[in-house]
Amino acid sequence: MAQTHGPAYQVQTGRRDGMVSDMSQAANMPDITAHTIGTTACFFMTKRLYNFSPTGGSDPAINPGFLQELKSTCPQNGNVNVRLPIDRGSGDTFDDQILRNIRSGFAVLQSDARLYEDEATRSVIDSYFGFLSPLFGSSFEADFAESIVKMGSIDVKTGSQGTIRRVCGAFS
């Protein structure tokens, strides 16, 4: 996270990992279209820009001015490998700009835009920008760090289950 100016957090060590790698489990991974740093390819934008269901046009959640910007970067029948930043304005930096983009219709990815359509996730996003939020509210960075640490403790093996890897890329 340091390279992207994100929050620092303690990573727990000594965790026991399972001894099985099962490719079928990859289907349970989060959708590849949800990120806050980096780029995406026009390939992942085509349907949202030109054949959005159910209208067949463009996703109405996209800010009209931004829609034209996206279409000029990813023209219909253009090069689907062209890359664009996922987080408009700060694609290489970890910050709350992605949330500001989502609120304003500047979400590049459909999955991010949908976060603001759901009442529960909309209220979470909005909670970071209230009048007193900087003084009394939690910060996006702190909440992110806390959630990463929590996810690291999901399905921890104990006792004689699993192994502690000395080389992370191999079973020992």
Residue 147: inside a domain = yes
Total structural domains in the chain? 1
92 labelled binding-site residue: no
Residue 161: inside a domain = no
CB distance 130 to 137 below 8 Å: yes
Q: How many degrees, rounded to 5, is the angle at CA 104 between CA 52 and CA 75?
A: 40
Q: What is the pLDDT of residues 6-29, one digit of tens each?
A: 777 787 776 777 766 777 776 665
What is the arithmetic mean of pLDDT over 118-146?
A: 83
5 labelled binding-site residue: no
Parent domain of 75: 34-151
Residue 139: inside a domain = yes
Residue 160: inside a domain = no
The secondary structure of residue 30, as a DSSP letter, is P
- 39: closest CA among 90, 80, 3, 91? 91
Of the chain, the end-to-end C-alpha distance in Å amounts to 28
- 98: closest CA among 106, 172, 1, 135? 106
CATH of the domain at 115: 1.10.420.10
Residue 2: inside a domain = no
The secondary structure of residue 59, as a DSSP letter, is -
Q: Would you list the DSSP string of 112-143?
A: HHHHTTSHHHHHHHHHTTSTTHHHHSPPHHHH
Q: Two tokens at 113?
A: 């835009």
Q: Two tokens at 164?
A: 């502690």
pLDDT of 137 reads: 67
Residue 17: inside a domain = no
Residue 133: inside a domain = yes
Q: What is the dihedral of CA 25, 29, 33, 38, to 10 degrees?
A: -110
Q: What is the pLDDT of residues 32-76, one digit of tens each?
A: 556 667 889 999 999 999 999 988 999 999 999 999 999 999 999
Residue 20: inside a domain = no
Mean pLDDT of the chain: 84
Helix/strand/coil for 4 = helix
